[in-house]
């Protein structure tokens, strides 16, 4: 099934080399998150506002956990949010589909990684503001 994780191999920070492909760039801000929500008890909001970010693109391992919590955190702080459907997954295809349809086009917009460039260009990025 598309967008399904293997329950026998959970994606966690203790997985060896889980992020070896995503080395930070020199001078790039790094935000460590202690909870499922990337905004809660972190300086992520401060970093984004300092860099005048208005549109947040979210992806991650488990849609029902960190992905949704961070998505809601961004929305609650007034960011426009796009969730990348093929860059996140959950324990079943049904669960993934239900989560993506729950608040799609209300709290966040759903886009594929192939269509992400279109989402980051107007009119969406200039006319739709989260409130």
Q: How many domains does the chain have?
A: 1
What are the CA-CA distances from residue 46 to residues 35, 65, 68, 74, 121 (Å)? 17, 23, 20, 12, 24
Q: Which domain holds residue 62?
A: 44-127
Q: Are 96 and 84 in contact (CB under 8 A)?
A: no
Would 56 be classed as within a structural domain? yes
Contact 77, 39 (CB under 8 A): yes
Evaluate whether 4 touches 92 at the Cβ level (below 8 Å).
yes
Q: Is residue 63 part of a domain?
A: yes
Ordered per-residue pLDDT tens for the chain, 131 residues = 454 555 555 555 545 555 565 677 888 888 888 889 999 999 999 999 999 999 999 999 889 999 999 999 999 999 999 999 999 989 889 999 999 998 888 899 999 999 988 888 765 554 444 43
Distance CA 127, CA 18 (A): 37
Residue 71 belongs to a domain? yes
Please report whether residue 36 resides in a domain. Answer: no
> 106 in a domain, yes or no?
yes
Note whether residue 62 is domain-resident. Answer: yes
Hey, what are 64's tokens? 């029902």
Residue 7 in any domain: the answer is no
Q: Note whether residue 72 is domain-resident.
A: yes
CATH number for 53: 3.40.50.850
What Cα–Cα distance (Å) separates residue 122 from each residue in 16, 42, 79, 97, 118? 40, 30, 15, 27, 8
């Amino acid at each position: 099934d598309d967008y399904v994780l293997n329950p026998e191999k959970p994606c966690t920070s203790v997985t060896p080399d889980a992020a070896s492909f995503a080395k930070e760039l020199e001078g790039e801000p790094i935000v460590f998150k202690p909870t499922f929500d990337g905004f809660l008890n972190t300086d992520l909001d401060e970093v984004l506002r300092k860099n005048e970010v208005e549109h947040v693109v979210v992806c991650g391992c488990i849609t029902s956990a960190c992905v949704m919590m961070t998505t809601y955190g961004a929305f609650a702080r007034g960011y426009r949010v796009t969730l990348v459907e093929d860059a996140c997954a959950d324990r079943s295809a049904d669960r993934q589909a239900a989560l993506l349809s729950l608040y799609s086009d209300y709290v966040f917009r759903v886009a594929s990684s192939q269509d992400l460039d279109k989402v980051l260009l107007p009119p969406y990025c200039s006319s739709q503001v989260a409130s």
